[in-house]
Amino acid sequence: MSKARLLTWILTVILPILALGQTTGKISGVVKDVKTGEPLIGANVIVTDSQLGAATGVDGSFVILNIPAGDHTLQVNYMGYKQVSLTGVEVLMGRTARVEILMEEDVLQLGETVTVTAERPIVEADKTGSSIHLTSEEISNLPVEGLRNVLELTAGISRNADGTISIRGGSGYEINYQVNGIKSMTTNTGATAFGGMNDKADNSWKYDVNPLAVAQMEVISGGFNAEHGNAQSGVIKVVTKEGGETFSGGFRMEYRPPGQYHWGDYLYSKNQIEWENWGQYNAWLENSKWLRDTSFTLNGIPYNLYEAQNGDYILKDFNVDDSAAINNYNLWVKNHTPSEADVTLVDGYEMVPVTVNGETLYRKDFTLKTLENPTNIMGAYDYRKIPATRYMFSFGGPLGNDPQKMNFFFAGELKSKPTRLPTREKTQDMQNLSFMVSWKPTTKHNFKFTNMYQFYRSGMGSGSEDVRWAGLWGWYGARRKYTLIYDPLREETVLAQSVDYKYLFSSKTFLQASVTHQSEVLFALQLPVPGIEKDAQRVAQGLQETRFLEERGPWFENYRDYYTWSSLYNQASITHYYEGNVSFTSQVNASNLIKIGLEAWLMDQDYNASSSLTVSSFIWRTGFSTNYKAKTRYFAAYVQDKIEFAGMVGNIGLRLDAYNFDGKIPINKYELFYPAENEGFISIGIPAWEDSKTFVTLSPRIGISFPIADKTAFRVQYGHFRSMPLIHRALDNQTNHGWGSYGNPNLEPQLSINYEIGIQQNLWGTHQLDIVTYYNDLKNQTYAIHREATAGSIWKTDEYYGTYTTYTNNSYGSSQGVEITFRNRVASRWRYNLTYTLSQTKIGYHGPYLDLRDMTEDQKQTYTYSASDFISGEDRTHRFNLSLTYGIPENAGPEILGLYPMERMTVGFVYRVSSGAAYFWSPSYQTERKVQNNRRYPLESVTDLQIEKNLTLGGIDFMISIKIRNLFNNKQLTPIDNYRELSEWVTKGVTYIHAEPDPTRNYHIFNYWQAYRNVPREIYMTFGFDF
């Protein structure tokens, strides 16, 4: 972390102003006499690790709200009865923990305390939608790298190729993700200056929170309450730990050895075609580029010939200019050899006499020298030599004299992981820090101050585990491996500060208010770089003694040319996000928990990006640019009632949402004003705009759970879930010799209508079986169209010439499926969770995809989407996940000489298998326009394993673990874009990596490493301690 960034974060700790959300639950129960079963009126119930408590009513019942998520102990006192300590009461976010406390008379008045461990219910009676809770212990025992890997183990959740998370087939940006109530923003999802048309890789990097800091995580994949909005697919809530009454902390150091983490040959291997053709200097001497007299030919002369004249050697006119050839050979070898690798160069020669037709001539006998290539100026390096490292820490405890009034918790993570493929950044560096102070000056007033810092350094097309988004992205990406410095670096920084205030009127009623500020900064760093023309110019100007780059020629072998003067893609995006929340929660009676809330936020954006340093928004130049400013506004209000009556639980709510993108709408969509010199347009458009609209919607939601037998609970859920379209689709614009794209700030809210029916079953008193079927009706989704304009881009071709890309609410879809979850719910050595999902996601489009000003009937037919929908490219019909842990407790396992070497050892195992992605193929004579995804790639599976050993020395718990990801080195075929290559695979089973049927074909030569998308076997070693 740079000193400037660290200082900025430290300063913001002093001035926290960011919001926390609903991260608490409630405990309700009844206190009875153990013998008579009569309710005890006025018993005092206290949550021991807080100042919260309640007294029982006339029916012996009590309710305590606002309890932090996690395990708690209840202390119950009643005159004439033994004190009861109920341990292990698990409180889940937004849920009710129900307890029954039985007290016995203290006849002898000895002041005894009876300790009882709370039983955790097998069937979750108040579960009205699909959700799962995970604790820090459950997460730490699994062979996962971060929270994103944990999410993939949940039914209905998958990770997309670009690294985003999808719930039940929804978009990667339809999730309301929160850490301590702080929402993750999705403002900068688009690729630099692409005008909303492309996404950059790994936009979900903010989801990875330090596992040492996590207390509990909830994943809601269907039917979330009215308090959550701006999401169609689901809600993910992470609650971090708080400092306790004593000091505690932990540390972890993780290491993965260097290695090659893609399939196929090393990308800079001497077996590559360019080295086979040009790796020997003879090939350069025989090339026609260096002939002095191109009209002369002489067969059978292997070397350049010289004649001796007055003690000097004069090159024959018909020979090759060997000095230029050798110089360019040396430059080529240095620029194609990774930094710090051995490079063999021509470093001199001797003149050797030869006889040609009776005449004594001379040739050069070149000498070679092998040395280390100190620095490859174009960025090539040996990516196999960089280890992955990760450091995590946490520390918390009391502040001040009273540990129950004030405490703190500080946690951080520093992670450096090499990219799977060679990239400009070499490693993806991620840092996150969090600092929280909790202050309870009185029992009625609670304050929480939170600061969070996140930093990510990567590239635009790298970061995902999928090889397509792991660097060198795209089909042409393989051609860039020798010019890495041309690619952009990306740095994202998020600073968040918060203050949250709660006023407790009583144990049943409280008011919560919070204010939020986040700043998100994204820079795509752009620097001067070597280029052939620039290189020659600097030599001519005397700014450098010699050339650094070889001349253009066939030795480039279709790799990217040294053509530019600066690295590509420049971006400076600064966003400030301000949010205010207020809510009132009250248990108005034994049956109704009412919550009313208001939410408002403002997103102030300043976005500037261009494809290269020399491009201007409105000047004729190869490249494109995007610039805009906006203050997007959002408001929401909601009311919800949690009804608990006679075993039935209902969540009923209504949410109002309103937003305005604060954009400008052209008066005439066919005549967008282009403020530059006319580049051959019909017209530069009309300089007149109107303000974007404000959209207001109401979303009803209802979920009901009720018992239908002693061990069975049935639930139904219905709701409307709306979200704003992506920011970059609404606001991004792109100049590309005319308007290449232009956002639509009048995009309407996207809607998902969700229907869900589920059943929970208690099996054998130890296991839970949960079966749910769902249907999501997706309406008013957004997708791109091309629209004619007088100043539309003249760089587009065919029917798209003179058009710009924009977005409309012209898409729809549906997702439906069945999810089955089976898991054990009682404490034992074995813990396991099995999920199976059978699902289908479809998408479709309507209206024209090419919007012309004056369309004929024939054009309307030609340029209109077909009425049918089709399987989504990310759809996976079948998914099965198994997570299993086995823990050996203390003083257990095999005994050797009175010792238990395997005690406190845990084995974690994860197995995932799913259908392959959908794709389209048919014989060429059967190809039909607009048909998509009629076939499916092979099944994909992966197995991960972790073994952890714990040991206590001197009061400190030490741990060491080994984690193996992709244990059996399974391969997952990369979807194939090229029709010819796809046909070869469908008909012959040939992939990029196979030489058949033609070893000289481009894909086999350049893209072999893209044949399989997943990561080969990885081994991680971790050491740490807790105290």
pLDDT tens sequence across 315-350: 877 778 889 999 999 999 999 999 999 999 999 999
* Burial per residue of 935-968, b for 16 or more beta-carbon CB atoms within 10 angstroms, e otherwise: eebeebebbbbbebbbeeeeeeeebebebbbbbe
Q: How far apart (Å, rounded) are the C-alpha atoms in residues 729 and 785?
A: 11
Return the bridge partners of 411, or none.
394, 434
Q: Is the pLDDT of residue 614 over 90?
A: no
Q: Is the pLDDT of residue 735 over 90?
A: no
- In this predicted model, which residue has the larger pLDDT, 48 or 254? 254
Helix (H), strand (E), coil (C) string for 233-262: CEEEEEEECCCCCCCEEEEEEEEECCCCCC
* Among candidate residues 526, 615, 609, the one with its CA nearest the CA of residue 571: 609
Q: How far apart (Å, rounded) are the C-alpha atoms in residues 713 and 705?
A: 7
The mean pLDDT of 216-237, rounded to a whole number, is: 90
Return the bridge partners of 886, or none.
830, 907
Query: Counting beta carbons within 10 angstroms of the beta carbon of residue 301, is it exposed (0 to 12), middle (13 to 18) or buried (19 or more)?
Result: middle
Helix (H) or strand (E) run with residue 1019 in it: strand 1018-1026
Return the bridge partners of 149, or none.
none
Tell me the DSSP string of 31-70. Answer: EEETTT-PBPTT-EEEETTSS-EEE--TTSEEEEEEEESE
Q: Which token pair is 462?
A: 């790298």
* C-alpha triplet 535, 537, 538: angle, nearest 5°: 70
> CB of 810 within 8 A of CB of 785?
yes
The bridge status of strand 165-167 relative to strand 878-888 is unpaired
At 612 the pLDDT is 67
Helix (H) or strand (E) run with residue 85 in it: strand 83-91
Q: How far apart (Å, rounded) are the C-alpha atoms in residues 1004 and 498?
A: 53
> CB of 849 within 8 A of CB of 835?
no
The residues spanned by each domain of the chain are: 3-117, 131-244, 273-372, 383-529+564-974+1012-1026
Query: Counting beta carbons within 10 angstroms of the beta carbon of residue 859, is it exposed (0 to 12), middle (13 to 18) or buried (19 or more)?
Result: middle
Query: Counting beta carbons within 10 angstroms of the beta carbon of residue 706, is it exposed (0 to 12), middle (13 to 18) or buried (19 or more)?
Result: middle
Q: Is the pLDDT of residue 249 over 90?
A: yes
Domain 3-117 sits in CATH at 2.60.40.1120
The predicted-structure confidence for 38-89, as pLDDT tens digits, reads as follows: 999 999 999 988 878 999 999 999 999 989 888 899 999 999 899 999 998 9
At 197 the pLDDT is 62
Question: φ, ψ for residue 150 (rounded to 5)?
Answer: -65, -40
Count Cβ atoms below 10 Å from residue 48 Cβ, excluding itself.
15
* C-alpha triplet 183, 135, 909: angle, nearest 5°: 115
> CB of 863 within 8 A of CB of 847?
no
Q: Which token pair is 403?
A: 């540990």
**DSSP helix/strand/coil, 857:** helix
Q: How far apart (Å, rounded) are the C-alpha atoms in residues 985 and 975?
A: 11
The mean pLDDT of 26-44, rounded to a whole number, is: 93
At 419 the pLDDT is 95
Q: Is the pLDDT of residue 131 over 50?
A: yes
The predicted-structure confidence for 193-218, as pLDDT tens digits, reads as follows: 565 567 777 778 888 888 899 988 88
Sign of CA dihedral 790, 795, 801, 807: negative
Model pTM?
A: 0.89
Q: How far apart (Å, rounded) are the C-alpha atoms in residues 174 and 208?
A: 17
Q: How far apart (Å, rounded) are the C-alpha atoms in residues 784 and 482?
A: 34
At 925 the pLDDT is 65
Cβ-based neighbours of 229, under 8 Å, separated by 6 or more: 176, 599, 636, 638, 655, 657, 699, 722, 723
The mean pLDDT of 886-900, rounded to a whole number, is: 92
Count Cβ atoms below 10 Å from residue 670 Cβ, excluding itself.
17
Q: Is the pLDDT of residue 191 over 80?
A: no
The mean pLDDT of 914-927, rounded to a whole number, is: 82
Q: How far apart (Å, rounded) are the C-alpha atoms in residues 737 and 795?
A: 7
The predicted-structure confidence for 402-461, as pLDDT tens digits, reads as follows: 888 999 999 999 999 999 999 999 999 999 999 999 999 998 999 999 999 999 999 888
The mean pLDDT of 569-577, rounded to a whole number, is: 89
- Amino acid symbol at 260: Q
Q: Is the pLDDT of residue 839 over 60?
A: yes
Tell me the DSSP string of 699-732. Answer: EEEEEEEEEEETTEEEEEEEEEEEEPPPHHHHH-
Least reliable range by pLDDT among 102-106, 425-429, 958-962 = 102-106
The predicted-structure confidence for 777-813, as pLDDT tens digits, reads as follows: 999 999 999 999 998 888 888 889 999 999 999 999 9
Q: What's the count of helices (H) and strands (E) in the chain, helices before strands?
A: 11, 49
Q: How far apart (Å, rounded) are the C-alpha atoms in residues 192 and 624?
A: 10
At 805 the pLDDT is 93
Place of tokens 């971060």: 146
Res. 2 pLDDT band, cuts 50 70 90: low
Q: Is the pLDDT of residue 1 over 80?
A: no
**DSSP helix/strand/coil, 980:** helix
* Among candidate residues 818, 839, 949, the one with its CA nearest the CA of residue 893: 949
Res. 923 pLDDT band, cuts 50 70 90: confident
- Tally of CA atoms within 13 A in the half-sphere of 140 that contains its CB: 27
Cβ-based neighbours of 501, under 8 Å, separated by 6 or more: 445, 446, 447, 512, 513, 514
The predicted-structure confidence for 739-749, as pLDDT tens digits, reads as follows: 889 999 999 99
* Among candidate residues 97, 19, 101, the one with its CA nearest the CA of residue 65: 97
Cβ-based neighbours of 447, under 8 Å, separated by 6 or more: 438, 439, 440, 441, 499, 500, 501, 502
Q: Is the pLDDT of residue 996 over 50?
A: yes
**DSSP helix/strand/coil, 314:** strand
Q: Is the pLDDT of residue 880 over 50?
A: yes
Q: Which CATH architecture has domain 383-529+564-974+1012-1026?
A: Beta Barrel (2.40)
> CB of 447 within 8 A of CB of 177?
no
The predicted-structure confidence for 961-988, as pLDDT tens digits, reads as follows: 999 999 999 999 999 988 889 999 999 9
- Amino acid symbol at 1015: V
**DSSP helix/strand/coil, 384:** helix
Chain Cα centroid distance, residue 426: 19
Q: How far apart (Å, rounded) are the C-alpha atoms in residues 1002 and 978?
A: 11
Question: φ, ψ for residue 36 (rounded to 5)?
Answer: -90, -20
The mean pLDDT of 630-648, rounded to a whole number, is: 94
* Among candidate residues 783, 797, 776, the one with its CA nearest the CA of residue 847: 783
> CB of 222 within 8 A of CB of 772?
yes
Tell me the DSSP string of 796-815. Answer: --GGGTTEEEEEEEEEEEEE
Q: Is the pLDDT of residue 927 over 80?
A: no
* Among candidate residues 68, 67, 218, 20, the one with its CA nearest the CA of residue 138: 218
Chain Cα centroid distance, residue 961: 26
Q: Does the structural domain 131-244 have CATH classification 2.170.130.10? A: yes
Q: Is the pLDDT of residue 20 over 50?
A: no
* Among candidate residues 567, 570, 497, the one with its CA nearest the CA of residue 530: 567
> CB of 937 within 8 A of CB of 975?
yes
Q: Which token pair is 634?
A: 């959002």
H-only helix segments in 185-299: 273-278, 281-285
Helix (H) or strand (E) run with residue 1003 in it: helix 1002-1006
At 298 the pLDDT is 52
Q: How far apart (Å, rounded) are the C-alpha atoms in residues 157 and 874?
A: 11
